[in-house]
Amino acid sequence: MRKTVDIIGIPIDSVTMNEAVEKVRGFLSEDRVHTIYTPNAEIMMDAYRNSDFKGILTSADLLVPDGAGVVLASKILGVKLPEKVAGIDLTRNTFSINENRKIKYYFFGGQPGVAETAAQNLIKVYPHIEIVGCSDGYFDKDKEKEIIQRINSSGADMLLVALGGQKQEKWIHTHKKELKVKVCIGVGGSLDVFAGKATLAPEFFRKNGLEWLYRLYKEPWRFKRMLKLPEFILLIIAVKLKLKKI
Ligand code: UDP
């Protein structure tokens, strides 16, 4: 049974990181495509404003809070999620799922070469995973069928889709029925981090829910997009005070 908490009409799974990893293990043993999305405050605001996108998030098999903002929202609403389950950490933790066979990954997204570099780096640290294919995330629409064919013929169990927020969830949702993998997860900029092209915020920022501050410092041009975080928290406060009905 799935235990979820409702945050502005979006059912976020109330799971710890370990429980989320166990869910992925379960998904890998079932013969169908499962979808995992990891919304942060920005994505939650996008879903609030776009009902189709909200429907996509709601249809996920596992929906975990990527950002401290979503966990804070759950506290304000009194439905308290156990902890942040960041997409990059969840993905990394799946590399250590100990099955009797090697789990096969396909990396899809990022600038040309990024997925391959990420694969080379990861295989050194996690020799018991297999990375069976890579495709970059800058493709013409008419190449899409070819990419799906490559993913399917690779025999991948798990597809990491790194096309950025909204684009990756929409891509997975649109093509889910054509895919033969067991798990599709939207991983944002994770391949850039695995490839060493981007860095995560230092531990202090990550532990204290201040990644947004670090990101603002590193990528100040994101300022406008990042305003969705305070906007999200204000919306949650308004919902809590019953000033707004969802
Ligand atoms: N990306 C991509 N194709 C696109 C747009 C973005 O492959 O058409 C990749 C981009 O190279 C980066 C990742 O998506 O590796 C995440 O992008 P961004 O940081 O903008 O998204 P976020 O995760 O913050 O939403």
Over the stretch 149-165, which tens digit does the pLDDT of each residue have? 999 999 999 999 999 99
Query: What spacing in Å lies between the alpha carbon of 125 and ligand 1's midpoint?
Result: 24
From 167, 171, 197, 218, the mutation candidate for ligand 1 (largest count of ligand atoms within 8 A of CB) is: 167
CA of 161 to the centre of ligand 1 (A): 10
Q: How far is the CA of 164 from the centre of ligand 1 (A)?
A: 4
Q: Where are the alpha helices (DSSP H) in the chain?
A: 17-28, 41-49, 51-58, 68-76, 87-94, 114-125, 144-154, 167-175, 190-194, 203-207, 211-218, 223-226, 228-240
Copy the structure tokens of residue 176: 């889910």
Asked if residue 205 is part of any domain, the answer here is no
Q: What pLDDT, on a 0 to 100 scale, did the predictor assign at position 246?
A: 83
Residue 105, in any domain of the structure: yes
Q: How confident is the model at residue 209, as a pLDDT? A: 86
C-alpha 11 – ligand 1 centre gap (Å): 25
Instruction: Name the domain boundary from 178, 198, 218.
Output: 198
pLDDT in tens, 1-24: 899 999 999 999 999 999 999 999
- Cα of 189 vs centre of ligand 1, distance in Å, is 6
Between 84-88, 115-119, 155-159, 223-227, the lowest mean confidence (pLDDT) is in 223-227
Q: How far is the CA of 105 from the centre of ligand 1 (A)?
A: 19
Q: Is 204 contained in some domain? A: no
Tens-place pLDDT, residues 187-201: 999 999 999 999 899
Q: Model confidence at 122, in pLDDT bands (50, 70, 90)?
A: very high
Note whether residue 184 is domain-resident: yes
pLDDT at 232 over 80: yes
- Work out the average pLDDT over 215-226: 89
Pocket of ligand 1 (CB under 6 A): 109-111, 137-138, 162-165, 167, 188-189, 191-192
Q: Ligand 1: which atom is nearest the Cα of residue 225?
A: 24
Mapped onto helix, strand or coil, the DSSP state of residue 34 is: strand
Question: What is the structure's pLDDT at 1?
Answer: 85
State pLDDT tens for residues 94-121: 999 977 889 999 999 999 999 999 999 9
The reply to whether 236 and 180 lie within a common domain is: no
DSSP letter at 111 equals: S
Identify whether residues 55 and 111 lie together within a single domain.
Answer: no
In a domain, residue 206? The reply is no
pLDDT of residue 4: 98
Shared domain check, 236 and 147: no
The closest residue, in CA terms, to atom 10 on ligand 1 is 110
Which ligand 1 atom is nearest residue 192's CA? Answer: 15
Q: Which residue range forms the structural domain that includes residue 19?
A: 1-94+226-246
Distance 162 CA to ligand 1 centre (A): 6
Burial class (CB in 10 A: 0-12, 13-18, 19+), 162: buried
Report which protein residue has its CA nearest ligand 1's atom 23: 188
Q: Can you give the pLDDT at residue 223?
A: 87
Residue-averaged pLDDT of the chain: 96
Phi/psi region, residue 232 (left: phi>0; alpha: psi -120 to 50; beta: rest), is: alpha
Number of domains in the chain: 2
Tell me whether residue 218 is in a domain.
no
